[in-house]
Amino acid sequence: MVKVAVFASGNGSNFQKLVDSQRENIHSEYKIEILITDKKDAGVLEKAEKLGISAFFINPKNYENRSFFEKDLVKILHEKQIELIALAGYMRIIGTTLLENYENKIINIHPAYLPEFPGKNGIEDAYLSKADQTGVTIHYVDSGIDTGKIIYQQRVVINRDQPLSYLEKNIHKVEHHIYPMILNKICENL
């Protein structure tokens, strides 16, 4: 089983699904070992506690720069023998320290189709565009924002007779379905 760390800054619904799916699936190829967050009040912390997963809040504000911050993260990751990092709503750029230590071992889920809708407002940008479809993308992380090699994508239709919240709901439903499945596949081949 591949030891995975989830990085998250928010509510943590994807984190929850990754753990649930691992625990329900007797053939799970991965194990969510730890959660790392950069936000003290992130809802994901409560979820980790309920699930009994070790959680680390590391405050970036306590560090002079990104490299020092990430060196501490790497220290924890190595101590816990983490082999793969899964970003799930982690709102921070990944710098060279993490990228060099985990080359091709950091993945992210993006709530829109790439490369059309990068950035932190991917769902809304797609809704406000003229496109009739968006989607969900799982990709490797590189030094850009949502530019890494695409691993898997699934299309989601945009229905503008419905409010933005309807599209958000559909996107999250697809995320929760595909993230555990693709993580499992990646770990199978590691």
Q: Where along the sequence are the contacts to ligand GRF (CB under 6 A)?
A: 8, 10-15, 88-89, 109-111, 175
Smaller CB separation from ligand GRF, 75 or 169: 169
φ and ψ at 84, to 5 degrees? Answer: -145, 145
- The span from the CA of 36 to the CA of 147, in Å, is 23
| Cis peptide upstream of residue 115 (ω within 30 degrees of 0) | yes
Residue nearest to ligand GRF (CB): 89
Asked if 176 is an active-site residue, the reply is: no
Shortest spacing between CB 171 and ligand GRF, in angstroms: 6
Shortest spacing between CB 139 and ligand GRF, in angstroms: 11
Amino acid type, 20:
D
Shortest spacing between CB 39 and ligand GRF, in angstroms: 10
Smaller CB separation from ligand GRF, 105 or 110: 110
Smaller CB separation from ligand GRF, 13 or 154: 13
102-119 b/e (C-beta count within 10 Å ≥ 16 → b): beebbbbbbbbbbeebbe
Q: Find the catalytic residue in 78, 110, 139, 177.
A: 110
CA 135, 90, 108, 7 dihedral sign is negative
For the annotated catalytic residues, the residue numbers are: 110
